[in-house]
Amino acid sequence: MDWANYLFGFKGRVNRAKFWLAGLIIVCWMMFLALLVISAGLGGKDGFGFNVDDVFRVFDPDSYKSLSWAGLPALLVKACGTFLFVWVYVAVAIKRLHDRDKSGWWMIPFFAIPGLMSQFGGRLPDESYWIVAAGTIVFVLYIWAFIELAFLPGTSYPNRYGPNPLGKTHVSRGGSHGSGSRASGGWDQQSELDIVPHKAGPPAV
């Protein structure tokens, strides 16, 4: 397996098993790096860890008000680690979307919008219906993305992003199904009957 493209590339397709494997790899990397930081004494009194919300704090000006020089080493490690983990997740998730014959731009509603709404949701008006509406949208998008990426199978036919990563191809016998990416029906030599040609000549005695 091409590990570089699997973890960092954005082209091709991956199946559900490799999506789950990538999640396990990311969690192991997080735990290993967090233990290194804590062992080096850079964790601080509040401890050290990685969180998806750290990605969206970059867009929040209030996040920079509590920065200090003492916490700069831990902040740099957190920034580099978070960038690495998010890159791997987005790369694998996009290839999983490709397996579903969907564009990688689906990561905007599946990842970017819920994250930004979670980060800035606390600054919505005090009216409860705004908070409930935002929370409902975030919940629905997260559940939809989780089901789409982690559970639904990919297309069994070669689509516009590549062949089926499982190596199985569904061949349609009825022509095109309205999508140029699907395998269209054609002459299947294996399904033809073998016809033995008649030899001219007198009948055998």
pLDDT: which is higher, 98 or 50: 98
Q: pLDDT tens, 26-60?
A: 999 989 988 888 887 776 666 677 777 777 776 66
How deeply is 138 buried, as exposed, middle or buried, from its count of CB atoms within 10 A (0-12, 13-18, 19+)? Answer: middle
> Residue range 101-121: average pLDDT?
91
Better-scored residue on pLDDT, 66 or 147: 147
Q: pTM here?
A: 0.76
